[in-house]
């Protein structure tokens, strides 16, 4: 089956609501619609499309705030984590579930850390695999630890890092520039970070989106996926005052550093 078309709708200050368009059925899936208005506006401008599904990654209001309005307006079905506090979910998803969206199989991955209920959606689509990573893996960074532990988040990121390198990653915030400025502080001599930051700063100067990204690019430039690298370990030691002996310790040190960067 052909890949769905991905469209990013800006919301709030720096959120993106991703729309997945099936050109065969003219159905649309919306990912983490924290605000209903951008989706309603898009649908009104494209009346040939019908919102059929909402995919949620976690319970934060900036990802779920528009769900009930959109469900009431369109009759769409809502998929999301097995969290009873999220209103409107029709299908509660758990780790390892395989669901069909637009005739494509999507695997549900539990990735706790940012929140305890966080899930991601992975489609191993032939030559073009893709991932909806929510607030777990960002371009150049990762989510804050609001509920989970460093051990949980590190394990979640390692799980995502084991996906195919050509996986295209659709995350939900425009944090890339700030993340890469931190990555440059961690690895000032990493040429991939230097070049990527220059490209991203040009994009943001023009008000353009920096997403999606790819797993291969993240492995070269995202310090939170590079916790075994000697340069990242050395930077963590210099900041924390103690040489980490495990990837989790490195992650914990640089995540704490990023929180105050």
What gap in Å lies between CA 167 and CA 9, rounded to an integer? 21
- Give bridge partners of residue 239 from the DSSP assignment: none
Please tell me which residue in 22, 32, 135, 154 is annotated as part of the active site. 135
**Whether residue 135 lies in the annotated active site:** yes
Q: Which of 192-196's residues contact partners 24+ apart within 8 Å by CB, and which partners? A: 192/217, 192/220, 192/221, 193/220, 193/221, 196/140, 196/221
**Whether residue 60 lies in the annotated active site:** yes
231: annotated binding-site residue? no
**Whether residue 63 lies in the annotated active site:** yes
Please tell me which residue in 22, 35, 62, 117 is annotated as part of the active site. 62
What gap in Å lies between CA 56 and CA 247, rounded to an integer? 29
**Whether residue 114 lies in the annotated active site:** yes
239: annotated binding-site residue? no
Please tell me which residue in 59, 60, 118, 154 is annotated as part of the active site. 60
- The CA distances from residue 101 to 25, 105, 119, 127, 217, in Å, are 11, 7, 16, 18, 27
Please tell me which residue in 63, 117, 118, 154 is annotated as part of the active site. 63
63: annotated binding-site residue? yes
Give the CA angle between residues 111, 150, 227 to the nearest 5°. 95
Non-local (6+) Cβ contacts of 53 within 8 A are: 27, 28, 29, 30, 76, 77, 78, 79, 101
135: annotated binding-site residue? yes
114: annotated binding-site residue? yes
Please tell me which residue in 32, 35, 59, 114 is annotated as part of the active site. 114
173: annotated binding-site residue? yes
125: annotated binding-site residue? no
Do the Cβ atoms of 77 and 54 come closer than 8 Å?
Answer: yes
Q: Is 254 helix (H, G, I), strand (E, B) or coil?
A: helix
The angle that helices 176-186 and 191-205 make with each other, rounded to 10 degrees, is 150
**Whether residue 62 lies in the annotated active site:** yes
Please tell me which residue in 32, 58, 59, 118 is annotated as part of the active site. 58
Q: Give the H/E segment covering residue 141.
A: strand 141-142
Q: Detail the residues annotated as belonging to a binding site.
A: 58, 60, 62-63, 114, 135, 173
Question: Residue positions in the annotated binding site for Zn(2+)?
Answer: 58, 60, 62-63, 114, 135, 173
Residues classed as catalytic = 58, 60, 62-63, 114, 135, 173
């Amino acid at each position: 089956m052909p890949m769905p078309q991905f469209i990013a709708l800006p919301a709030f200050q720096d959120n993106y609501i991703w729309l997945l368009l099936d050109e065969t059925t003219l159905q649309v899936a919306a990912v983490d619609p924290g605000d209903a208005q951008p989706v309603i506006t898009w649908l009104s401008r494209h009346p040939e499309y019908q919102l059929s599904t909402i995919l949620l990654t976690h319970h934060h209001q900036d990802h779920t705030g528009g769900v009930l309005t959109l469900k009431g307006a369109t009759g769409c079905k809502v998929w999301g984590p097995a969290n009873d506090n999220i209103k409107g979910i029709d299908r509660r998803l758990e780790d390892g579930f395989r669901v069909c969206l637009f005739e494509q199989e999507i695997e549900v991955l539990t990735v706790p850390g940012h929140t305890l209920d966080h899930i991601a959606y992975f489609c191993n689509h032939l030559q073009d695999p893709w991932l909806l990573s929510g607030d777990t893996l960002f371009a150049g960074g990762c989510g804050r630890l609001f509920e989970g532990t460093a051990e949980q988040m590190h394990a979640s990121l390692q799980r995502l890092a084991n996906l195919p390198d050509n996986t295209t990653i659709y995350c939900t915030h425009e944090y890339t520039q700030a993340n890469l400025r931190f990555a440059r502080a961690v690895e000032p001599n990493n040429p991939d970070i230097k070049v990527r930051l220059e490209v991203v700063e040009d994009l943001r100067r023009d008000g353009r989106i920096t997403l999606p990204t790819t797993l291969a690019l993240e492995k070269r430039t995202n310090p939170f996926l590079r916790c075994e690298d000697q340069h990242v370990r050395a930077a963590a030691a210099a900041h924390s005052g103690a040489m980490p002996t495990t990837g989790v310790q490195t992650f914990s040190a640089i995540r704490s550093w990023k929180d105050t960067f």
